[in-house]
Amino acid sequence: MVATPIGNLGDITLRALDVLASADAILCEDTRVTRKLLSRYNISTPSLVYNDHNAQRMLPRLMKRLNEGNSLALVTDAGTPLISDPGYRLVEATIAADIPLHMLPGASAALAGLVLSGLPSDGFFFAGFPPTRTTARQKRFAELAAIPGSIIFFESARRLAASLSDLHQVLGDRPAAIAREITKLHEEVHRGSLGTLAKYYAEEGAPRGEIVITVAPPTIHKVDNDTLRAKLTDALAGQSLRDAVAEVSTETGRARREVYRLALEISSEKPDT
């Protein structure tokens, strides 16, 4: 079993073509998309649909074929298999059954978006798709706020403006980049602050195609203990201990455990009389 993305037809490797031609069947999201690749390179291997809609039903049938010695190649319409698609369950079952598994690297929208963003790439976190509802989305962004690296999201075009607005509200005006149709023919990258990008897409409307959002890491300003105490005292005056600790830890870059201990100390102190 070999997993490889189709992506741009010109990006396919010779090794991937050899595997696709020699496999017993090719598993694909949409046979119409995969047929373009197979036709271009005169590959006659039968193709089967394997996607979000039929993954549960297809998995037992595919495992039966693998156990019988069939070689199956898994491809995606674009991007890397298993990144936000049902291939994970098939790989999980394949490993559990001790069936040989191989991966042919190919185009990755998340990594390509990171590289083209111009943002720090020495540390990053792939966060997948944000929640669709505003409250849950903002909560998720707050959970990711202190990650000391660039954050990469997938997002639908119609929710892009709303997600950028929430990112701006929760993370502040960090540098960011929007990559559209990355690794494909009409790829496009917009760079700017979260506030600027949120305003742009709110005014321009939803773009077409698949979207990768890359957000810069937080800017950490080292603060001394007196400043930390003052910030935490102010935060505790209007928030719960938990929320105050989260806010000050994110803002200052100090370890949450350290900030929590100081918050308990401040909370236990009696006011001056």
Q: What is the DSSP secondary-structure string of 24-93?
A: SEEEES-HHHHHHHHHHTT----EEE-STTTHHHHHHHHHHHHHTT--EEEEESSS-TTSSSTHHHHHHH
Q: Give the domain CATH number at 94.
A: 3.40.1010.10
Answer yes or no: do 94 and 130 share one domain.
no
- Would you say residue 46 has pLDDT above 90? yes
Q: Which of 39-53, 57-71, 180-194 has the lowest mean pLDDT?
A: 180-194
Structurally, the chain folds into a number of domains equal to 3
Q: What pLDDT, in 10s, does the model give residues 21-39?
A: 999 999 998 899 889 889 9
Tokens encoding 207: 């773009």
Q: Where are the beta strands (DSSP E) in the chain?
A: 2-5, 25-28, 47-49, 72-76, 102-103, 124-126, 150-155, 175-180, 188-193, 211-215
Specify if 75 maps to a domain: yes
- Report pLDDT for 81: 75
pLDDT band at 84 (very low <50, low <70, confident <90, very high): low
- Would you say residue 9 has pLDDT above 60? no
Give the percent of the chain with pLDDT over 70. 90
Answer yes or no: do 264 and 169 share one domain.
no
- Report pLDDT for 123: 93
pLDDT band at 2 (very low <50, low <70, confident <90, very high): very low
The one-letter amino acid at 16: A
- Report pLDDT for 273: 44
Using CA atoms, how far apart are residues 165 and 87, in angstroms rounded to an integer? 32
3-state SS, residue 148: coil
Answer yes or no: do 77 and 14 share one domain.
yes
Residue among 146, 148, 216, 204 nearest 180 (CA): 204
Q: Which of 76, 103, 130 is the last residue of a domain?
A: 103
Using CA atoms, how far apart are residues 129 and 68, in angstroms rounded to an integer? 36
- Report pLDDT for 29: 87
- Parent domain of 253: 225-268
- Report pLDDT for 8: 46
- Report pLDDT for 270: 54
- Would you say residue 253 has pLDDT above 70? no
Using CA atoms, how far apart are residues 94 and 88, in angstroms rounded to an integer? 10
pTM of the model: 0.70
Q: Give the domain CATH number at 160.
A: 3.30.950.10
Helix axes 160-171, 194-204, angle to 10 degrees: 160
Specify if 169 maps to a domain: yes
- Would you say residue 246 has pLDDT above 70? yes
Using CA atoms, how far apart are residues 253 and 243, in angstroms rounded to an integer? 15
Specify if 141 maps to a domain: yes
Mean pLDDT score of the chain: 87
